[in-house]
């Protein structure tokens, strides 16, 4: 395929808007503002370039994860495919650029994040009431046997780790 992909680094201009299609598929819409920032040696200060506002959408689990995790002002790094569409407004032909996100996360240059695996219940929503536990998760930490020393299973002890 000859898809045009794009990586955007910027901040969310508003809280993501989560909606569901009539068939139940989740879709989220959001806008990311990004601009180039350069250091002007002569003025000895940072100068911001013009801001570009990227209209983005994401689908299904990614849409729900975005709505649950990100909010207005969050610095993000996003990757997606670019789509150009034409439309008419007041009799005038216009062009819009939309980005369908494939991946997005917090920009850890400006903030920290605690990551946890999203759990989906039988209803397709997030963990909580009615959520089924993840079965056969190869990355889950095994439970320590009852009489095993905590250090053997990565637990906290008073002993130094060497």
Check whether 134 has a pLDDT greater than 70: no
Model confidence at 149, in pLDDT bands (50, 70, 90)? low
Question: Stretch 114-132: mean pLDDT, rounded?
Answer: 58
CB 38 within 8 A of CB 45: no
Helices (H), the chain: 60-69
b/e map of 15-53 (b: 16 or more CB within 10 Å)? Answer: ebebeeeeeeebbbbbbbebeeeeeeeeeeeeeeeeeee
CA nearest 97: which of 81, 108, 109, 116?
81
Which are the contacts of 102, defined by CB distance < 8 A and separation ≥ 6? 62, 79, 80, 81
CATH C-level class of 4-123? mainly beta
Model confidence at 153, in pLDDT bands (50, 70, 90)? very low
- pLDDT tens digit sequence for 92-116: 999 999 999 999 999 999 888 888 8
Q: Write down the domain spans for the chain.
A: 4-123
Model confidence at 119, in pLDDT bands (50, 70, 90)? confident
- Taking the model in full, what pTM does it have? 0.68
CA nearest 70: which of 56, 82, 49?
56
Q: Name the residue with higher pLDDT: 39 or 132.
A: 39
Question: Stretch 148-159: mean pLDDT, rounded?
Answer: 50
Judged by DSSP in three states, 67 sits in helix
- Among 27-31, 58-62, 87-91, 143-147, whose mean pLDDT is lowest? 143-147
> How is residue 64 written in tokens?
């729900």
Give CA–CA dist 70/106, Å, rounded: 8
């Amino acid at each position: 395929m000859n898809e045009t992909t794009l990586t955007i680094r910027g901040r969310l201009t508003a809280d993501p808007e989560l909606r569901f299609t009539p068939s139940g598929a989740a879709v989220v819409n959001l806008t990311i503002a990004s601009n180039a920032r350069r250091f002007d040696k002569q003025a000895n200060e940072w100068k911001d370039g013009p801001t570009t506002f990227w209209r983005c959408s994401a689908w299904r689990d990614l849409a729900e994860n975005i709505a649950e995790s990100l909010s207005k002002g969050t610095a993000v790094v996003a990757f997606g495919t670019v789509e150009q569409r034409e439309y008419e407004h007041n009799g005038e032909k216009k062009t819009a650029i939309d980005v369908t996100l494939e991946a997005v996360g917090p920009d850890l240059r400006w903030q920290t994040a605690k990551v946890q695996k999203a759990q989906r219940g039988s209803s397709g929503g997030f963990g909580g009431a009615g959520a089924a536990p993840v079965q056969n998760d190869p990355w889950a930490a095994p439970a320590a046997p009852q009489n095993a020393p905590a250090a053997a299973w990565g637990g906290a002890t008073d002993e130094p780790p060497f």
